[in-house]
Structure 1
Amino acid sequence: MIIPYNGKTPSVHESVFVAPGAYIVGDVTIGKDSTVWFNAVLRADDGPIIIGERCSIQDNSTIHMFESCVIEDDCTIGHNAILHGCKIGRKTIVGMGSTILDNVEVGEECIIGANTLLAGGIKIPPRSLVLGSPGKVVRELTEKDLQMLQMSSAHYVQKGKEFKDILE
């Protein structure tokens, strides 16, 4: 469901798949070929949320903002993740159940493992594997990891097209 708030209407590219039960509220911009899955909530009532192209916001994820929340191109945000006022660099996977809080910046091509907590304005360098609560960089990503990041984005673009066809 797309809901205007305080004079701001979400801008969702026509190619985006928005699943039934998802809520997109206020000053939200979603780029081409992205997907917003069942029961996800993107609520931009105090500042903008910007989702790049080919991003997947998976089931039950919540995205809110402090000043803003930016998710760059080709990112996968796993089921039940919470993102609040952070920036996620392109080609990054945020694992299921992870929480990323205000002023955290995650570099490009990172994997944030399931149930990881990032807080306190931490900055994660590009190509990092981050695990734990609180999250810590455990190693640099391998070439195999980087290939998986690209496949994740492409997989959800295709799934989104399939679901869009089924539900239209």
Structure 2
Amino acid sequence: MALIKKVNGKSPEWEGDCFIAENATIVGDVKMGSRCTVWFNAIIRGDVHEIRIGNQTNIQDGVVIHCTYQKAGTYIGSNVSIAHKAIVHGCTVHDNVLIGMGAIIMDHAVIHEGSVIAAGAVVLAGTVVEPNSIYAGIPAKKVKETGDFMKSEIQRIAGNYPMYADWYET
């Protein structure tokens, strides 16, 4: 059973069709839509501010989602894939985004729809990532536009994670 904790009177909430791995941690003011998946060792810590997550978003192994006390909640849209060991902190991630393995998104950054944050990239505080763009590096900079293939990959990956969750026996 996942570690689910109420903090300051606020309990995490999610739709019944979400998959939550047994060793995931979800605490405090967290709300998730339908068909989300939270994988092994992921941590979603809504203890100091709110975290809102849309539908069919996957939070892969070892991801940390947090916020900044009284300053920055975390808002994640639908059809978002947050790959292994990424850190998403006090920022806004719009719909149809792919955040690569080990990427870091800092406070008040905004990741617009259809974008990709490359593996290992660091999106500095306050950065605004253009829609339909690929950002890479430290600090992350735009390297190119997401073409039709990458846009379809973002959709494919987000759609696959609920299917993967169905493979696990309850």
**TMscore range, shorter length:** over 0.9
Summarize deviations over 1:48-83 as a string: whole Å, max 9, x none. 101110000000000001221011000000000001
| d(CA) in 1 for partners of 2:146, 2:165 | 27
The corresponding residue for 1:133 is 138
Summarize deviations over 1:103-143 as a string: whole Å, max 9, x none. 00000011100000011301011100011010001111111
Moved beyond 3 Å, runs of 4+: none
* Percent of aligned positions that are identical: 34
SS in 2 for 1:155: helix
How far off is 1:46 after superposition? 1.2
1:24-43, aligned counterparts within 5 Å? 24-43=26-45
TM-score by length of 2: 0.95
| d(CA) in 2 for partners of 1:154, 1:85 | 25
User: Which residue among 99, 102, 106 is the counterpart of 2:107?
Assistant: 102
The corresponding residue for 1:64 is 66
Alignment: residue pair count: 165
User: Which residue among 127, 143, 163 is the counterpart of 1:158?
Assistant: 163
SS in 2 for 1:146: helix
SS in 1 for 2:161: helix
TM-score by length of 1: 0.96
| d(CA) in 2 for partners of 1:120, 1:87 | 11
Unaligned ranges ≥5, structure 1: none
How far off is 1:12 after superposition? 1.4
